[in-house]
Amino acid sequence: MWMIALQRFLILCLTLVVISLLAFLVPYMSGGDPVRTIVQSRVGDMAIDPASVETMRVHLGLDRPLYVQYLGWLWSAIHGDFGYSFVSRSPVGPEVARALVVSFTLAMSALGIALAVALPLGTLSAMWPGKTIDTVATFVTQTFVAVPEYWFAPMAVLVFSLYLGILPSAGWDGPASLVLPALVLSLRPLAYFTRVSRAAMIDVLQAPYITAARSRGLNMNQTVVHHGIRNGAMPVVTLFALWLAGLLGGSVVVEVIFAIPGMGRLIYEAVVNNDVPVLQGSFVCIVALSVLINTLADALYILLNPAVRIRHVH
Amino acid sequence: MEKSTSAAKASPHPGEPLLEISNLRVSVPDAPNVKPIIDGISLHINAGEVVALVGESGSGKSMTALSLMQLLPTGLTTTAGTIKFDGEDILTMSQRQLNHLRGGRIAMLFQQPQAMLDPTSRVGTQVAEPIRVHRHVDRTTARARVLELLGEVGIPDPGARVDCFSYELSGGMAQRVMIAAALSANPDLLIADEPTTALDVTVQAQILKLLDDERRKRKLAVLLITHDLSIVSALADRVAVMYAGRIVEEGPTQQILKSPQHPYTKALIQCSLLKADSEGNLFSIPGGAAQARDLEKGCRFLPRCGTAAAGNLHEQCTHLEPALDSYNDCCKARCWAVKPNRAHSDVHEERRP
Ligand SMILES: Nc1ncnc2c1ncn2[C@@H]1O[C@H](COP(=O)(O)OP(=O)(O)OP(=O)(O)O)[C@@H](O)[C@H]1O
Ligand code: SF4
Ligand SMILES: [Mg+2]
């Protein structure tokens, strides 16, 4: 067990080093000269003086060898210092942290909704494959996968904000402003969770221990509740973690449409403005967090499924 | 071991068997050209009696057991016959009545005890289920009862084992747990589907001893499914031999094992003795039972039967299927070579052309 934990930890560290290297190289990969970009961003549309570019380069320490720059950058990054945003001139660390909290809240709400609907829906359609509930579930999941968020988002605003007037259409203040974006964001994971839990539950319901439970006199519902759902939820746990990691920086469309100050919007604006420090900081934080989340998910999986534990011990 | 059919539990229908299967058929409705898996079997078990069901792999023993529980796998259904348990037909019961029956009055053991336990649920929880659903006892009472039961089935240190998961148990321990669960609500009938096949020989003997002790103590009727004739001879009062979805011979264990009449039963006993012939070859039944159900007419055992040729019965065996007829005051066989004793025949089954 401890060997596994140690192994996991080493993999985690290695991943972080690789990520930090990639993040550091972001400005060099985009091809342009970041220093020119900075100077250009300060002088607006005017022509730039090559001398001021060089002064800036020395000032920023960008004239040093690449590996020195990297180590310096890494050292600061480890201390949460990702430099200053080219655009807002404020430190990147706190800016990313604030956005991460927002995105995390949004993602957890969306995935919470998805899970709350998908597990029962997937389970019920597995219990009655081909019946009404299953047909409805299939239709719903197909729709949610096929129709993009930029259609659902305006529709939701139209109905709930403009027509019914019960929910704010944009912004980030209070739980009410969380409802619409979380709902819209939940639809796609909801569809995938439903599919996966249905498939898993169909397998579980064929398992010998289900027959054995029925032979002890448990009715179908009791059997599913006591011996089905926990086993059927296993693959959904893994999927949940993957989606959580993905949504942290991946809910761009929803964050932009609903004007939510999360990671998606932060990255979107940083890309538009070529704001390198923000891009680097966001990238490192998101990937590091994703890796952490997946590690935690594996731990949770082992906790939920004691039979896996023994395989890890041996 | 000594056998007893006496001292049965008081039944509300005295004189009637506890379980009476008549002309049971199990088919695959979605595949009309697949012959029924179980084709018209009849069998009864008296209260407190141990009846063994033997036959080679695929003959339909497990499906017979599962149809008694109405837990057949999806795709299979009982399409004819009746299964009277304590006077009531299981096949016409509501789901509610069936849930009451399962685990409450009829309990079941299976071949792979570890696979029969939910890997995510504690052992004690699963053992408690029959008393929780049938006796409606609270959690604390149930736990106390479970600890008691685990002790009774020979699990050392029940206090520690009660919170185990199935993977922490050996096969033998897992089967003991299954036995505890099966006995917990005090059923009248125990179906044991090859309860020791997956266990090694010493554990096998312990489990069989436990089963025999418990069924005597509780006056349980047992349907014991096995293909081990030494188990049959040690435990069963009566034995029914199954071949390709049919019962081909049935009667008191000692008589059937001592003087089997049906060629298949004879062959089965030959196999179990592991005797070699003069050239040192072990005896085995030639051919397989795979296509036996698909024979259009005649005896299903014909392709593997030596008696038919020897007895000049080939014509008859090819065209007509024999019925399960009494050949003396207690035994029945389904074979043209066995002379029926009409005085004892109580089977009103048609002979199929
Ligand atoms: N779901 C199913 N659909 C169709 N046929 C099935 C299904 N399940 C089992 N069968 C068939 O039913 C027949 C009887 O199977 P059963 O499991 O009762 O045999 P068995 O006598 O218990 O054999 P074993 O000794 O191997 O346990 C087999 O020939 C098998 O192919
Ligand atoms: S009826 Fe004929 S083929 Fe069938 S077992 Fe008897 S002798 Fe053999
Ligand atoms: Mg079987």
Interval A59-75: pLDDT, tens: 877 788 888 888 888 88
CB contacts of A208 in chain B (<8 Å) are: 110, 112, 115-116
Q: Is B323 a domain residue?
A: yes
- How far apart, in Å, are the Cα atoms of A121 and each of A128, A145, A191, A205? 11, 16, 10, 15
Q: Which residue has the tokens 């336990």?
A: B117
Which ligand ends up closest to the CA of B38?
A: 1
Pocket flag, ligand 2, residue B101 (CB < 6 Å): no
Pairing relation of β-strands B50-54 and B221-225? parallel
Q: Is B130 a domain residue?
A: yes
* B140 pLDDT more than 80: yes
CA of B223 to the centre of ligand 2 (A): 27
CA of B59 to the centre of ligand 1 (A): 7
Q: Is B28 a domain residue?
A: no
* B12 pLDDT more than 70: no
Average confidence score pLDDT of chain A: 86
CB pairs under 8 A between A and B: 88
Q: Is B168 a domain residue?
A: yes
CA A79 to centroid of chain Cα atoms: 23
Q: What percent of chain A has pLDDT over 70?
A: 94
Closest residue CA from atom 3 of ligand 2 = B302
Question: Which of B127, B154, B179 marks a domain boundary?
Answer: B179
What was the pLDDT predicted at A102? 94
* B7 pLDDT more than 70: no
Cβ of B107 and A216 within 8 Å?
Answer: yes
Alpha carbon distance A240, A236 (integer Å): 6
What was the pLDDT predicted at B2? 45
Residue-number span of the structural domain to which B125 is assigned: 119-179
- A93-313, CATH topology level: MetI-like fold (1.10.3720)
Which ligand ends up closest to the CA of B28?
A: 1
Cβ of A212 and B116 within 8 Å?
Answer: yes
Q: Is B12 a domain residue?
A: no
Closest residue CA from atom 5 of ligand 2 = B335
List residues in chain A touching B: CB distance below 8 A. 206-209, 211-220, 222, 226-227, 230-231, 304-307, 310
Q: What percent of chain A has pLDDT over 90?
A: 39
Pairing relation of β-strands B332-333 and B325-326? antiparallel
Least confident of B20-34, B228-242, B285-299: B285-299
Query: Letter for the amino acid at B267?
Result: A
Distance from CA of B120 to the nearest CA of A (A): 6
Judged by DSSP in three states, B50 sits in: strand
CB contacts of A306 in chain B (<8 Å) are: 119-120, 165, 167
- Packed helices A234-250 and A276-304: angle between N→C axes, nearest 10 degrees: 170
Contact B38, B60 (CB under 8 A): yes
Q: What is the reported pTM?
A: 0.82
Q: Please give the tally of structural domains in chain B.
A: 2
Question: Which of B162, B179, B196 marks a domain boundary?
Answer: B179
* A242 pLDDT more than 80: yes
Closest CA to A281 of A55, A59, A38, A94: A94
Contact B37, B76 (CB under 8 A): yes
Q: Is B200 a domain residue?
A: no
Pocket flag, ligand 2, residue B335 (CB < 6 Å): yes
Distance from CA of B248 to the nearest CA of A (A): 28
Kindly state the average pLDDT of the residues A180-198: 94
- Please state the ipTM of this predicted complex: 0.87
Predicted confidence (pLDDT) per residue in B340-350, tens digit: 776 554 544 44
Cβ of A306 and B167 within 8 Å?
Answer: yes
User: Is the pLDDT higher at A302 or at B79?
Assistant: B79
CA of B271 to the centre of ligand 1 (A): 22
Closest residue CA from atom 4 of ligand 2 = B299
CA of B38 to the centre of ligand 1 (A): 9
Q: How confident is the model at residue A308 (pLDDT cuts 50, 70, 90)?
A: low
Q: Is B229 a domain residue?
A: no
Q: Is B300 a domain residue?
A: yes
Strands (E), A4-150: none
Domain boundaries, chain A: 2-91, 93-313
What was the pLDDT predicted at B211? 95
